[in-house]
Amino acid sequence: MPQNGSDLDLSASQPQLTTSRSTRLGLLKLMYLSREGDRREGVLMRQGRGWFQVSGTGHEALAALSMAMEQGDYLFSHYRDRALLLARGMTNYELALAYFGKRNSSSAGRQMPAHASCPKRKIWTALTPTGASMLPACGVAWGMKLEQKDSVVVATIGDASTRQGEFFEAVAFAVERKLPVIFVVEDNGYGISTPTDRMNPLRLKLIHEDVGITTLDARNPENILAAAVPALAKARQGHGPTILHCELDRLCSHTSSDDHRIYRVEEELAEIEGRDPIDLAAGELIANGEISSEQWQQLRDEIDRTVDEEYALAERAPDPAPEENADHLFGTPADTNAPSLEGDRQWRMVDAVNRVFQEGLETDRRFVFFGEDIEDPKGGVFGITKGLSTAFPDRVFNSPLAEATIAGVAAGLACYGMRPVFEIQFVDFIGPAWNQIAQNLSTIRWRSKGEWTCPAVIYAPYGAYLAGGGNWHSQANEANFAHVPGLRVVVPGTPEDAAGLLWTAMHTDDPTIVLLPKHRLRQHTLVTSPVKPVPFGQAAVRQEGSQVTLVAWGNCLEPASDASSQLVGEVSVEIIDLRTIMPWDRETVCRSLEKTGRLVIVQEDVRSCSVGQMIISDLTSCPESWDHFLCPPQLVSREDVPIGFNPICEYSAIPDTERVVAALRKVLEG
């Protein structure tokens, strides 16, 4: 039978507030089970039967945290939380499967060992950069609070990672919103080889004591329980977060790739060995007559045998299949009713988006909106959310000026089961959120083999063609997102497409980046038919032609259309609005290219490593599409230069009608 922490009676609906003999003995057995699993993995590594190990040796007493938790509580775990994972109900065999990277492990072999995930036990899919899990933890806690649940999130982090900006943002957001979250700082004094005593913000007193900080010796489970019980009770009662500063020892090297004897002297190693939490707990039980030395040895022998058997069984389990490597990158797009955006009238994109947002809020209470200045009276710097916070004050909120918070909270809120639709005020400001978007949101489904999903929409006004924007209000950046597996990236060019693509994004279970072209937000456009959801990866032929295929999206549809109009009677141009950057509609572009034999792409992102270059590379490297070309394709693009404030600087950098006309004539001459 796979070994876990069942002796702690985790099926109880209430936390265990006392430590009876059976509880103390059960906890000791669990701590030793964790230690023996680490020891077994170390042996396997030395035998060449594994690729990597990260050990929780010395952190075992933290399993006592589980005794203060209830079944509905979430755990955001650190990679040294093996004992705590066992206490929450994971089995030694499951952790063994993860060590070997097996197909049936919690990540199907995609995550390193000790990066646990188990939705049924509410153990979130762990991240290697542990600081990055703090904001998603706040997202789950916020979801609980919005639903008026009395559950709590326990989020563990290494002391070195507390210098990450996202840790400070998470603490600030939790305090601001009085979220039911406990930040557990596992302070073993090292960040790999670097001593942290002069770097740790808790030791530097950088966080005000009013936040609620409890410092404790976490080598003793009794101390942990004594601190955790009131902290979780405080959170359940709506009084906000607590930081548990847990001082303990790392009794091992950082990982199997490290040797701590290089940077730790023998005296230090001897000192911390004397504080081994398992030896201390066993010694106390023996000294109190609650167990004999012989009984303790017998228990250890039984656990040793079981661990060896389970690792041997896990080693023989099936490996991942190469053909399954892309499984769970995306889910299946959901069928959805059309938004009620009527046709036969003029629409502005900003109004169409606002209408879709309003309808989403009216029809599904899971939608939550969050962003800088999006509440009334302003309703966002472009007025996109005007009126929404007045109508839905419990689900439309201003965010702090903190883009990592916006993206990280979106991840947690989405995993909790809400449907966040969050605004980045300008895509130029996405940088602080990049870690969450590229490392977290985009990988959640894939790294958990589809057991966690992230139905989050992050939208942002993007692009230039509005004079005076300067370098930080004029960027496009679509290629940055297109390079990230697991993200869908869309750029609508018309009011009906903005509504249709957003509606699709809001009803899919994967993260979507929606870039709204600022130049087109307030243009009036006749919408001739009722709006329908727009499928991802489906381009639109805006104008049929026979001589040149002209591909554009977003703001660049305008210079593309103007150039075609200038050449009426001279060139027959087929204009394709790509609409979706990732995935892009190769079939529609190839079908047009087969007809015309000539290709021009217009984009406002920089040239190098861009979407336009990717499309050209794809089409020219494929023999079938290569045969369609009558001449070399042309890319009309912003050059690799920032956009300046003076309109002369801006408009000399980005595509204009004249450059598109020149490209069209060039392919005809070629």
In order of their start, the domains of the chain are: 44-316 (3.40.50.970), 345-527 (3.40.50.970), 541-669 (3.40.50.920)
525: nearest Cα among 561, 564, 485: 561
Note the pLDDT of residue 9.
Answer: 44
C-alpha count within 13 angstroms, C-beta hemisphere, residue 447: 20
The predicted structure's pLDDT at residue 529:
81
**Beta-ladder partners of 574:** 549
Distance CA 409, CA 135 (A): 5
Q: Three-state SS for 220?
A: coil
Q: How far apart are CA 3 and CA 118, in angstroms?
A: 16
Task: Assess contact for 130 and 157: CB atoms under 8 A.
Answer: yes
- Beta-strand relationship, 540-543 and 573-577: antiparallel
DSSP 102: -
Q: What is the pTM of this model?
A: 0.95
Closest CA to 457 of 545, 385, 541: 385
C-alpha closest to that of 124 among 163, 166, 92, 81: 81
| pLDDT tens digit sequence for 220-253 | 999 999 999 999 999 999 999 999 999 999 999 9
Residues of the chain under the 50 pLDDT cut: 1, 5-13
pLDDT for 1: 46
Q: Cα dist. 283→254, 274, 279 in Å? A: 27, 12, 6
Given 473, 507, 519, 628, the catalytic residue? 473
pLDDT of the residue at 364 = 96
d(C-alpha 504, C-alpha 507), whole Å: 5
Kindly report, residue by residue over 189-219, the tens digit of the pLDDT: 999 999 999 999 999 999 998 899 999 999 9
Residue 519 annotated to the active site: no
